Amino acid sequence: MKKVRVAIIGSGPAGLTAAIYTARAELSTAVITGPQFGGQIATTHDVDNFPAFPDGITGPELTERMKDQAEKFGAEFLWDSVTAIDLSKGSPFLIKTHSEEISADAVIVTIGASPRHLNIPGEIEYTGRGVSYCATCDGAFYRNKEVIVVGGGDSALQEAIFLTKFANTVTIIHRRDELRASVALQTKAKANPKIRFIFDTVVDEVKGENGLTTGVTLRNVKTDAKTHMPVDGVFIFIGYDPNSAIFGGQLALDDQGYLSVNAADHSTSVEGVFAGGEIHDQTFRQAITASGQGCAAALMTIKWVDDREALQPLDDMQPVAQA
Q: Which residues bind ligand NAP (CB under 6 A)?
A: 49, 118, 150-156, 158, 175-176, 180, 202, 237-240, 285-286
How large is the greatest C-alpha to C-alpha distance in the chain, in angstroms?
69
Least CB distance to ligand NAP at residue 254 (A): 16
**Residue (152 or 233) nearer to ligand NAP, CB:** 152
The answer to whether the Cα torsion of 244, 245, 247, 249 is positive or negative is positive
**Residue (188 or 308) nearer to ligand NAP, CB:** 188
Q: Which of 137, 177, 254, 306 is catalytic?
A: 137
**Residue (2 or 165) nearer to ligand NAP, CB:** 165
d(CA 122, CA 94): 40
**Residue (143 or 176) nearer to ligand NAP, CB:** 176
**Residue (28 or 155) nearer to ligand NAP, CB:** 155
**Residue (45 or 266) nearer to ligand NAP, CB:** 45
Q: Where are the beta strands (DSSP E) in the chain?
A: 2-9, 29-32, 46-47, 57-58, 76-78, 82-86, 93-97, 101-109, 113-115, 131-132, 146-150, 169-173, 195-198, 201-209, 212-220, 226-230, 233-236, 240-242, 273-275
d(CA 200, CA 137): 28
Q: Which of 105, 138, 154, 232 is catalytic?
A: 138
Q: Where are the beta strands (DSSP E) in 11-125?
A: 29-32, 46-47, 57-58, 76-78, 82-86, 93-97, 101-109, 113-115
Least CB distance to ligand NAP at residue 39 (A): 12
Least CB distance to ligand NAP at residue 20 (A): 23
Q: What Å distances lie between residue 314 and 31, 42, 51, 260, 319, CA to CA? A: 20, 36, 38, 28, 13
Q: Is 295 tagged catalytic?
A: no
Question: What is the DSSP code (8-state) at residue 298?
Answer: H
Shortest-Cβ-distance residue relative to ligand NAP: 153
β-partners of residue 70 are: none
In degrees and rounded to multiples of 5, residue 176 shows phi and psi of -120, 180
For the annotated catalytic residues, the residue numbers are 134, 137-138
